[in-house]
Structure 1
Amino acid sequence: MIRDTIKAAQVSAMKAGDKPRLAAVRLILAKLKDKDIELRTASAVPEDDVLVTDVLQKMAKQRRESISLYEQGGRQELAEVEKAELAVIEEFLPQQMSEDDTKAAIGAIIAETGAAGMKDMGKVVAALKAKHGTQLDMGKASGLVKAALSA
């Protein structure tokens, strides 16, 4: 389980005295704890690895946005901190699909669903997320779906 790997990374970072890595791992664990608390009242709780992957993907997306904003604002030292956190977060994410693999998966789903145009984009994106959600950045994938459907 991914959560166990993250907890083990926390212990190893503590033993190694790696403060930046430890801070990033603790940040991940805090976000997971927040999500667990949020889901206490939910009727359906997703599988743990799916939940952890979802939280990690959101954290990675936030870091990427922050990095670009800091770089635009000329705050390179803050961008470096975010990049270090992003590197730690990405260690725990499942291997992401390459762009070619993503395009192939999109083509297969379009064929399966019989999607004919932009009106079917929601159906294709939903099927893509259901099958490959943990292996994709859905922001990039939706752009590829849009390109495939408009072609």
Structure 2
Amino acid sequence: MVLRTRISDALKQAMKDKDAGRLSTLRLINAAIKDKDIAARANGNDDGVPQSEVLAILGKMVKQRQESARAYEEGGRLDLAEQERKEIAIIEEFLPRQLSEEETNAAIDAAIADIGAESIRDMGKVIGALKSKYTGQMDFGAVGPAVKDRLS
């Protein structure tokens, strides 16, 4: 099922269940996707953003909430940190399974071999190939240094 449809169906179900917390998070997801769709239409793309972009939006939302939860914990606001974690759980329902460290390393090695990357200059090509294939499945903040180590 298409990701947008899954989100829309979950939104409708949350309305029926009168689950206010889940409903507000799903509305935030919908709003973020629609914002990107509007920006894409302004650039001449009438179909909106592709699914890979929706996955990137969801990944960004998870990271934002993880940072907020950390900040709330440091500030002693455990109630707000817990709310952020609940939102993370809801958002992650729509993300594909995260690759393990071994799977990530294998994917990096395969991308380097496919591209024929030999030096640090090829790092952008390797990251681009990984993003096109594994968007939403790996943390690219951690992948960058790993690719750099292998190409150095």
TM-score (norm 2): 0.87
* 1:61-88 CA-partner distances (Å, limit 9, x unpaired): 1111112222222221111111111110
Q: What percentage of residue pairs aligned between the two structures are identical?
A: 49
Q: Distance in 1 between matches of 2:21 and 2:107?
A: 37
Distance 1:134 1:43, change over 3 A: farther
**Could you tell me which residue of structure 1 aligns to residue 9 of structure 2?**
8
Structure 2 unaligned residues grouped into runs of 5+: none
* Alignment-derived partner of residue 127 in structure 2: 125
Report how many aligned residue pairs link the two structures.
150
Asked if residue 40 in structure 1 is aligned to residue 58 in structure 2, the reply is: no
Q: 1:76 aligns with which of 75, 78, 100?
A: 78
Instruction: Name the residue aligned to 2:138.
Output: 136
Equivalent residue number for residue 61 of structure 1: 63
Q: What is the distance in 1 between the residues matched to 2:69 and 2:143?
A: 21
Q: 1 CA distance for matches of 2:134 and 2:151? A: 19
- Greater shift after overlay, 3-12 or 124-133? 124-133
Structure 2 Cα separation of the partners of residues 94 and 46 of structure 1? 21
Q: 1:120 to 1:51 in 2, by over 3 A?
A: closer
From the two aligned structures, give the one with the greater helix fraction: 1
Partner of 2:54: 52
What's the CA shift string for 1:103-133, capped at 9, x where partnerless?
0010111122232343332222112112222
**Cα shift at 1:148:** 2.8
Per the normalisation by structure 1, the TM-score is 0.88
Q: CA 1:136–1:46 in 2, change beyond 3 Å: closer, same or farther? A: farther
Aligned to 2:29: 28
Note the residue ranges of structure 1 that are not aligned, 5 or more in a row.
Answer: none
